[in-house]
Amino acid sequence: MRVEIREVGLRDGLQNEAPVSLEAKALLLDAVVATGVRRVEATAFVSPRAVPSMADAEQVAALLHRWPGVRFSALVASLGGARRAVAAGITDLEYVVSAGDGHSRANVRIGTEEATEQVAEVAAVVHDAGGSVEVIVATAWDCPFDGPTPPERVLRIVERACELGADELAIADTIGTATPVRVQRLIGAVRDRVGPVTLGAHFHNTRGAGLACAVAAVGEGVLRLDASAGGLGGCPFAPGASGNIATEELVYLLQDMGIETGVDLQRSIDAARLAQDVVGHLVPSNLLRAGDRKR
């Protein structure tokens, strides 16, 4: 069995941090690519006023030719963002739709239904450029403003997104409240609703259950997981949201389960250490502090 890890440290990992230099981002890109990951979310084309750490998206995009063989993508939250990304040369995009209406309005200033319907326009821009669009359903389990997310809201979004042109889907625990049993139920229901569409998952470790949720998702057939070097991350528009599951901790766990990732554990630890240096404070990763188990 093989699970693909998408490194999101350059986007989700840094979006809640004070802006770091383009040179530092290049060093971090070099480190995460050296781990063996072959999918990297490199930046986000969003409002630089709302997310200052992503203000250099075009400059980051201009660096990506240095690492051939890696599938780079960018996150967008609007049609304008999609157009910016394509103009900058990134044609694999993640478009976010928040299942929580309150979070959607805080994040993109429109409700969930309107954000969902924009999938068609985003997909048209991306497909015209020869790329692909993944719809990420944020706050899929709970919304910081609305409380528990009814599963049927998520199911309606994924079904409609596929109708409107989404090539892939991902289900995201934006505020880190999911538990394994809830993951099993929702992922299973999504699978039943959309069938063979490629499905990924994105977990935050806010309440310490992120890795357990990731394993539960794999048990439901999810074969692509997002993770961030050092466990950095958080949503600027979701109060209390903290870091993603750490890439090196996910690699450590999956390898010990006999699941292939193609990612080198020691180089992942090195990338986490560099991420810590880049942001200038301790990162959440326990594995970075403890080190790999010696055999």
- Whether 143 is catalytic: no
Which residue in the list 143, 162, 213, 235 is annotated as catalytic? 235
Whole-number Å distance between alpha carbons of 292 and 295? 9
Count the neighbouring beta carbons within 10 Å of the beta carbon of residue 132: 19
Cα–Cα distance measured from residue 34 to residue 47, given in angstroms and rounded to the nearest whole number: 30
Q: Which residues are catalytic?
A: 235
